[in-house]
Amino acid sequence: MNRIRKGDQVIVTAGKDKGKKGDVIRVDGDKVVVSNVNVVKRHTKPNPQAGQPGGVIEREAPIHISNVMLFNPASGKGERIGFKVLEDGRKLRVFRSSGEAVDA
C-alpha cells in the first residue's frame, strides 16, 4: 500500500517549488506528478495523425515521492503517514502526529 495515492493533496518539501500545494495526478513507482508543480516547457513537433499541434507546451514533470508530504487540513501542514491494521485485516493510512485516518 502506497503512502501517497492519486487524488491526495500534497505539499512540496524540497526543490524549486518548495511550499506549493497541489493534487497528485499520477504515481509512477517512486515518482509523482503534482498539479501546477514542477511545470516545464516541452517543445513538441506537430503530429497530424494524433491531431496534436506543435509548439511549446507547458506541463507538469514528475518529482520524487520523498520530496512531497501529505497535507493535513486539520493542522494546515504536511505530515508523515503511518499504517494501522484494523481487526478485519484491512490497512488504513493514518497521520503519525494525531493518529486520525487519512481516508475517512
In the chain, where the domains are located: 8-95
Q: What is the pTM of this model?
A: 0.84
Task: pLDDT tens for the chain, 104 residues: list them.
Answer: 789 999 999 999 999 999 999 999 999 999 999 999 999 999 999 999 999 999 999 999 999 999 999 999 999 999 999 999 999 999 999 999 988 898 75
Long-range contacts, 20-27 (Cβ 8 Å, 24+): 21/71, 24/68, 25/60, 26/62, 27/2, 27/65
What pLDDT score was predicted for residue 104?
A: 54
Q: How close are the terminal C-alpha atoms of the chain, in Å?
A: 16
Q: Which class does domain 8-95 fall in?
A: mainly beta
What pLDDT score was predicted for residue 100?
A: 87
